[in-house]
Amino acid sequence: MRQRELRHFFIQKHPSGGDRMRELSVELSAESDRPLYEQIYEGIKKEIIRGNLKEGERLPSTRYFAGYLEVSRSTVELAYDQLVSEGYILSEACRGYFVCDIGELCDLEESDVEKKTERMQEKTKDTVKKRQEYRYDLSPDSVDLSYFPFKEWSNITRELLLDQGDRLLMSGNPAGDENLRESIAKYLHRVRGVNCRAGQIIIGAGNEYLQMLLSQILGNRQKIAMENPTYLPAYLTFKNLGYEVTPVKLDQDGICISSLEEAGADVAYVMPSHQFPTGVVMPMRRRLQLLSWAMAGEDRYIIEDDYDSEFRYRGKPIPSLQGNDRLGKVIYLGTFSRSIAPALRVSYMVLPEKLLERYRERCGFYASTVSRILQNTLYEFMERGYFERNLNKMRRIYKKRHELLIDCLKQCEWCRDIFGEHSGLHLLVRTDPKLSEKQILEGCGKEGILIRGLSEYDITKKERGKDPVLILGYGALKEEEIPGAVDGISRILR
C-alpha cells in the first residue's frame, strides 16, 4: 500500500430498505502509529455517527473489502469485530454485516463518551507525554495492561450487544444495574470483609463523581479531615466542592486520633488498608479508635477509600474498616481502576443504611454515569471468573517486581530506608540528603526516569525541608527494566 491514500467503496442498502448506493471514504496511512484495523474502524464509525451510513445498510464482505484496500482479511475482520462489540454494526449469519440502529448509542457517543474521553485525555496528557519521553516510568499511578484478557472482554461485550443490545441501550437504575451491584457485594464481602447488601452500593464513573454525590448527601458545610500527605485528587475535589479541608498528621499507625479530635472535623477521609502515598497500613487498635471517634458524634462519618487493597504481598489481606462498623458510620469507596484499568472509570460506594434515604431524596433522580453495556460486561467478567484470575495473575507479577526492586535498592549506598512496602504498586525510599528532592527529580528526568517525591503530596508544604523521600512505582516497569532504572537513579545520587 502506498504511504498515504484515500480509498472509496460502495455500501449496498439492506434489501428491506431499497437499492440506494452510498460512497464512503476511508483514509489509510502506513505512516500512522495506529494499526490499520483501527484506522478502518474509526473511518466507518465516524460515518455511522455522522449519519452517512444508515440503519440496515450493508458493509462489503471482509474478503472483498480487504482486497479493495490491499490489506489482510484479518485486518478488516478486526475492525468489523470492534464495530460489532461496540454496537455500531451487527453480523448476520450467511448474510453479512449491517449498520445498527444507534440512536441512543450515537447520542451517548457524541454527548458523553467523546466529551468524557476528551476530558480524560486532557487530564492525562502530561502523563502520557512523559511516559513517551521517559525510558523508565516509576510514577505511582502506573499499571501494566499488557496482560489484560482483551479477547475475553471483547467476546463478552460482543455477546451482550448481540443478545441484549436493545435492553442495554435503555435507561437503567440510577444507582447501577442490580446484577453488577450484587456481584460487587459478594466480592467485597468475600475478599474485603465488607458487610452490605446490593441496595447499599452506588456505582459511578470514578471516585470524584461519587465524592460529588457525597457532598449532596452529607451537605458541604462540614469540615473534612484528611491524612497528610494525602491523595491529591480527593483533596482537590473536596476543596472544589466547597468543603473546609483540614490536614491531620500521620504516624506509623495512620491518622493521629488526638490531632483528629483537635481538628474539630465532622468527616474523616482515610485510606486504612494502604495509605497513599506513605503506604501505612492502619492496625486494628487504631481502627477501633477511629470508629470510636465517629461514634462520639451523631453526624460524624468516616470515608474509607480502600486504595490498592487488592495488592498485598506479605501476610493475609487486611479486612476493611467498614467490616468492623456496627453503627453505620463508614462510607466505603472502591474502584476497578487499579485492579482492571484506569480508563474503565467504574467506582462504587457503599452507603450506610441511614444515608440511603438521603441519597434517594437528593440524588436518586440522577442518571447513572456508567453505561449499561460497560456495567453488564463487567458483571459477566466477574461472574465468569476472569476478574479474579486476572487479579491473581497481576498480583504475582507485581510481587516479583516489588521484590526485585527492593533487592536492587538494598545494594545502593544512597538508600537509607525503605518503607511502605509489601502492599500496593509503589514503595518509598529515604535518600542521602546530599541533594534536595527537587534536584534529584530534575536529575532523574535528565536520565530519562520519571519518579515522584513525597513532598508533592503534602498539602501543608511543610515536608520540603526534610530528607528527600522518593516514591518509586513499579506497576509499569518490566522486570528487566528495574535494574536499569535503579542504576539511573544511582548515577544522580553518587
Nearest-5° Cα angle at 385, 427 to 320: 45
CA dist., res. 349 & res. 156, Å (int): 25
CA dist., res. 405 & res. 399, Å (int): 10
The percentage of the chain sitting over the pLDDT mark of 70, rounded to a whole number, equals 87
Crossing angle between the packed helical segments 437-446 and 482-493, to the nearest 10 degrees? 130
C-alpha cell at 132: 513517551
In 325-436, where does DSSP find H-type helix? 353-363, 372-383, 386-410
CATH superfamily of 389-493: Aspartate Aminotransferase, domain 1 (3.90.1150.10)
- pLDDT tier for residue 426 given thresholds of 50, 70 and 90: very high
pTM, 2 dp: 0.72
Higher-pLDDT residue of 6 and 55 is 55
**pLDDT at residue 108 above 70?**
no
- pLDDT tier for residue 464 given thresholds of 50, 70 and 90: low
Residue of 399, 422, 423, 420 lying closest to 469 (CA atoms):
420
Q: pLDDT digit string (tens) for 428-462? A: 999 988 899 999 999 999 989 999 999 999 998 77
CA dist., res. 374 & res. 369, Å (int): 11
Report the pLDDT value the prediction gives residue 103, as an integer from 0 to 100: 59
Query: What's the CATH architecture for 4-101?
Result: Orthogonal Bundle (1.10)
* Residue ranges per structural domain of the chain: 4-101, 160-384, 389-493
Biggest CA–CA distance in the chain, Å, is 78
Taking residues 341-350, report their average pLDDT. Answer: 92
Residue of 196, 125, 124 lying closest to 355 (CA atoms):
196
As a CATH number, domain 160-384 is 3.40.640.10
Residue of 305, 302, 295 lying closest to 275 (CA atoms):
305
Q: pLDDT digit string (tens) for 228-272? A: 999 999 999 999 999 999 999 999 999 999 999 999 999 999 999
Characterize the bridge pairing of strands 244-251 and 449-450: unpaired
Calculate the average pLDDT of the chain: 85
CA dist., res. 295 & res. 289, Å (int): 10
Q: What is the DSSP letter of 368?
A: P
Same fold, 160-384 and 389-493: no
